C-alpha cells in the first residue's frame, strides 16, 4: 500500500527573513575557526614519526 507524501513546509515573511539571517550569521561564524595551533601540533607529530 502506498504511503502519503508529506508536503514541504514553505517559510514566508518574517520567518523566512529570520531563517536567512540565522544562516548568514552561522556561515560567518563557521569561517572564523582557526586551526593553526592544531596544525602545528600535527606537523610536529608527523616530523617525529618521519612521515
Tens-digit pLDDT profile for residues 1-51: 678 888 888 989 999 999 999 999 988 877 667 889 999 999 999 999 987
30: enclosing H helix or E strand: helix 13-30
b/e per residue 18-35 (b: at least 16 CB within 10 A): eeeeeeeeeeeeeeeeee
Q: What pTM, to 2 d.p., does this model score? A: 0.44
pLDDT at 26: 87
pLDDT at 6: 87
Backbone angles phi, psi at 46, to 5 degrees: -65, -35
Q: Could you give the 3-state DSSP secondary structure of residue 37?
A: helix
Distance CA 17, CA 25 (A): 12
pLDDT at 5: 87
pLDDT at 21: 96
Amino acid at each position: 500500500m502506498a504511503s502519503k507524501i508529506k508536503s514541504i513546509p514553505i517559510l514566508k515573511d518574517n520567518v523566512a527573513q529570520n531563517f536567512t539571517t540565522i544562516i548568514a550569521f552561522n556561515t560567518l561564524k563557521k569561517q572564523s575557526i582557526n586551526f593553526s595551533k592544531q596544525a602545528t601540533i600535527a606537523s610536529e607529530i608527523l616530523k617525529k614519526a618521519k612521515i
